[in-house]
Each structure stands twice: as C-alpha cells, then as structure tokens.
Amino acid sequence: MPRHGASIVLVLLALLMGWPARATVPPVPPAAYITLSPLGASLRATYRLDTPVIRLSLGEGPVAWQNPVWRMETPGLVLQNQEVRAVDGRAFKEFSLLIDEDKRFVDRTYPVMLRLGPHGFLVYGPFLLVRSDSLATGLSQGTIPTEPAGGRALEGYVFVGPAGYVRPIDAAHPGLGRLVARPDLPAAWRDEVSPGLARALAYYRARLPPRGNTVSPIIVYQDQPAPFLRGSVTGGGMMLLQVGGVWRVPRLELKPERDRVLAHETFHLFLRRHDKADFPDWMNEGAADYAAGLVMRHGALPSLPEVQIQLDLCVTSLGDRPLDNPATTARNRMPYACGFVAHWLVDKALRRTGKPDDMGLFALWADMAAHDGVSAGDSLRQAVAGNPAASRALSLLLTGGGPERWTNWADSLAGLGVSARWVDAGAPSADEVLEHVLKQSCTGTHGFWRGVRYTLDTGDRCGPLSGDPVVTGMEGHALAGDAMALFQAVVARCAAGQDVALNRPDGAPPLSAPCHVPPPPSRALRLDPLP
C-alpha cells in the first residue's frame, strides 16, 4: 500500500476506536534572531538566520539608512542601501552591525540610536527588522537586559542596558508605568514626571475604556543637552522624553509646559490603530495637542486667544494647500496647528448637538482607533455633518485651496458663534520670513527646529541650504531679535533679486539663499466672539 494510503487507514482507525488523534502542528517559519550588546560607545546588533541567504534587506527607511551611524562589522560582508550581501556573492547566515549614536534632530523622524548615561542604549527596533516574506524577525535575550521584551520588543524603541536603569515611575502607583533613566538621576527630576503623567493617564483612561486600561507607558528620560523639549512615542508603549536643560529648571512657569508635553505624548499611546497603519500627521499631532489642552483645562473648550495662536500658525504655514492631502507635508508646526484647528471645529460642533463636554470627541477618537482602514478626514467630516457651519469650515480646511479659501473659511465661522476678519498684522515673524526663503530653495519637505539658534531640516532637498545647517539670523539680524528690521532687510534683497544671507554661529561664513519674490506683509484672521 502506498505510504499516504496507510496514513489514511490509521487515521480512520483512530477515529473509529477513539484513539487520541495527533494534532497537526503547522511548520515554524524560518526566522532571523537579533542579539543586542554594547561595544564601547556603540551598540552591536548580531543577526543569526535559520537559513542562508545571498542578500538581506533591512528595516524601515530610507531616511534612517542615509544616516552614517551604521557600520558592518563582519569581514567579507557589506551594507549598502539597506541591503546586506557578501562581497564575493556567497550565502551567509550570520553578521553583526555596529550602530553609533544618532545626534541629529529631525521632526517626526525617530533617531536610530541614543545613549542614556554611561551604560544605556536606546535603539529604534523597526530599523532593525528583516524585510523578507520568508523570514520573521525576533529579539534574542543576550547577556544585557532589554526593555520591552517579548513579541512587541521591536515595534518601537528598545532599551539595552543595566537593569538598574529601569524603575517604577512611582512605587506607590505601579499603574503609572516604568521610567528608564541613568541611575544617578536626581530624585527630584524623577518626581516631576509623576504628577503630569498621573493626571493625563487618569483623564484618558476615564474617556477611552477599555483599551485605555491596558496603557502602561515605559518612559525613557534622556537628559543630555538638547536645544528643545521633545517627546515621542513608539510601539511597545515606549515614550521618549528628550529634555535637555529645560525640564530640570525649577521655575513654576515651565511646569504647565512640561505637563502638557506629557499629556500630548501620553495621548499617542491611546490613539493607535489596530492595523498598524498610521493616521496622517495633522490628525496624529493635532489630536494629541488638542487632547493635551483638554487635560490641562479639565475638559473646557480652548479660549479664542489660544485658538488664535494655532490659527495664525496654520494660515501662514499651510497657505492655499489642502490639509488632508498626502502631498501637503511640512517639517514644522503646521500639522500640529492645523490639526488643532480641525479638532476645535469638531469639538464645538459636537458640544452644540450633544453633551456640553468633551465626551463626544473622545468617543469619536475611540471609534476611529477601533476600526481598520478608516480615513481621518472622512471620520471628522461625518462627525460634523449635522452642523452646516462646522461642516463647511472643516471641508475648506481639509480639502479647500486657492486664494479665497481662508476668506470663505472665515465667513463660515459665524454659524459657530465666532467672527473672523482679516487685519493687518505688520511685519511677519522671523519664522514666516525664514519659511518664505526656504520655499524658494527647497524641492521637498523642509522646516526647522526653533531655539536661540535655528537648526534647519533640509537634508539634500534645499540646494545651498541643504545639510541641516544651524543659523542664527538673516542679513545680520538675529532670528530672535527685531522682526521688523529682519523683514525689511530681506524684502530689500528679494526685491532686487539678490541672495539672502543666512547668518551662522561662531563666525562661520553665511549661507546664500536665492530669493526672487519678497515676503509679503503679514495678515491675520482675527477671531472674536459674536454678540
């Protein structure tokens, strides 16, 4: 009898006689296992494959892989354009990469690897994943502990370092999560995380159950010098706070900003889609900014002066482009500000048709996070469909364009009890003038980090301004100084078709940026309540 025939007979006998049938075990797919271990100031990632390969593609990208922090350690192999291969074309099953610290500051781009104190490392897991339909990727436990562990370890940041770096944020309240920081971090700095985090978690858990009850963040506290206060969130419940010298300054006026950053980043842990797709930046960042404000105001609507700040940023940075369009990108505050304005419109409309609190908006966010493949723009428009004024204003913001877009948007606010009219705002801010000059050199996404010095985010997309340079002024006028003098100097150069000088720190020669169109005087939409 053929072998398969005998197998069929045995199975039938087992069923007829009550023998326990052997369960069919699906084959385990081959995998690539990564072990992370420190090597001096670098982090070593050792890959061991179940099956040999000729070439292997790695990780998300390509921005991270254009960063010169990656080095191939294994002789005879090369890493080029996210691909590992042997110089002589042979197959291989094992190799090691060395990763140096990533010292760039790029908006909404995760650093590849950061240092935490003398012995801690933080690496972004998705950059390490193997890109193969036939190979899964897992994290092997080496001699140095990693956090988080398990199947979600490579979904976001992975901490590699001594166990003493990881402690409860508040031993009396384990639900607040864990804090990863250098062990000698002063207790007072640790304590400043707890109140703001506890407030945000309690607020969101009360409004986004049951999913919110499972959120227990792992906060990574990096206190190396940085030009700003920055937070970011990744899979695995990891929240990174890059605080520089700002967080630790014990001034009362900084506390609301610290707590607002915590509330913003904590919201990102809640508004995450099941299908691992992501909402557009204006939705993610605008919702987080708006939710953080609700936490700070105990659910009250933002005041018109607060909306005014966001609207000014939105109008000047978005211009006549539609917000809800993949081609509309910017590495500045535009997604935050315009997303804030969009959610303000939705919140006002929902409170007029339902309960006068923020529960309607949180219910909308919960519904959006629970369903795969939903469109952020469609969901918000459907939520305000019963309010013609909010519906028109939201549509003009998300999909409108052209020179009359903002005038029409202002007219639509009357139905929401708000007056909006154009007023002369005088000289534009230094940010607006710098953005105007950047647009004339850049062919792709661009922006800047703002501080006493401005770090441009230009990559290789902005001609003579490429390379992410640091600038301090324009035409000899400080970016943080007299806005009118700076504006007038740039207008004079652009009107004559001459390059604009971008001043650099420490006596470095200025950069020359072509400018053929002078920046216009600033106009603003002034918001006032209707009587």
Tokens of 72: 């191939």
State the pLDDT at residue 189: 72
Tokens of 428: 């534009």
State the pLDDT at residue 229: 64
* Block residue for tokens 């910017």: 330
Tokens of 309: 């700040």
- Rounded Cα–Cα distance for residues 448 and 462 (Å): 12
Tokens of 396: 């003009």
- Rounded Cα–Cα distance for residues 460 and 464 (Å): 9
DSSP string, 306-334: HHHHHHHHHHHHHTTS-SSSTT---BSSH
Tell me the CA end-to-end span of the chain in Å, nearest whole number. 94
* Block residue for tokens 């192999």: 77
State the pLDDT at residue 219: 84
CA dihedral 452, 457, 462, 464 (to 10 degrees): 40
DSSP string, 56-112: EEBSS-STGGGSTTEEE-STTEEEETTEEEETT---EEEEEEEE-------TT---S
State the pLDDT at residue 300: 96
State the pLDDT at residue 70: 92
State the pLDDT at residue 33: 92
Per-residue pLDDT for the chain (531 aa), expressed as one digit of tens each? Answer: 444 444 333 333 333 344 444 445 555 567 899 999 999 999 999 999 999 999 999 987 666 777 789 999 999 999 998 899 999 999 999 999 999 998 776 656 788 898 988 899 999 999 999 988 888 898 988 788 888 877 678 888 999 999 999 988 888 888 888 889 888 877 777 777 888 889 999 999 999 876 656 777 888 877 654 445 678 888 878 888 876 544 444 443 456 677 898 899 999 988 875 445 578 999 999 999 999 999 999 999 999 999 999 998 899 888 888 999 988 876 668 899 999 999 999 999 999 987 889 999 999 999 888 887 789 999 999 999 999 999 999 999 999 988 899 999 999 999 999 999 999 888 888 988 998 999 999 987 788 877 657 888 888 889 999 998 999 999 999 998 899 999 999 999 999 999 999 999 988 999 999 999 999 888 889 999 988
Query: Dihedral sign, CA of 452, 453, 459, 465?
Result: positive
Tokens of 324: 């809800």
State the pLDDT at residue 11: 33
**How far does CA 231 lie from the centroid of its chain?**
8
Q: Where are the alpha helices (DSSP H) in 124-215?
A: 187-191, 193-207
State the pLDDT at residue 105: 63
Closest to 347 (Cα-Cα) out of 314, 302, 308: 302
At 423, is the secondary structure helix, strand, or coil?
A: strand
DSSP string, 429-474: PHHHHHHHHHHTT-SS--EEE-SSSEEEE-TTSSGGG-S--EE-EE
Let me know: does 403 contact 423? Beta carbons within 8 Å: no
| Contacting residues for 307 by C-beta, under 8 A, at least 6 apart | 340, 341, 344, 527
State the pLDDT at residue 238: 85
Q: Point out which residues pair with 31 in neighbouring strands.
A: 136
- Rounded Cα–Cα distance for residues 124 and 236 (Å): 11
- Rounded Cα–Cα distance for residues 257 and 245 (Å): 14
State the pLDDT at residue 141: 80
Tokens of 291: 């939710």
State the pLDDT at residue 28: 56
**Max intra-chain CA distance, the chain:** 97
At 234, is the secondary structure helix, strand, or coil?
A: strand
Backbone angles phi and psi of 513, in degrees to 5: -115, 125
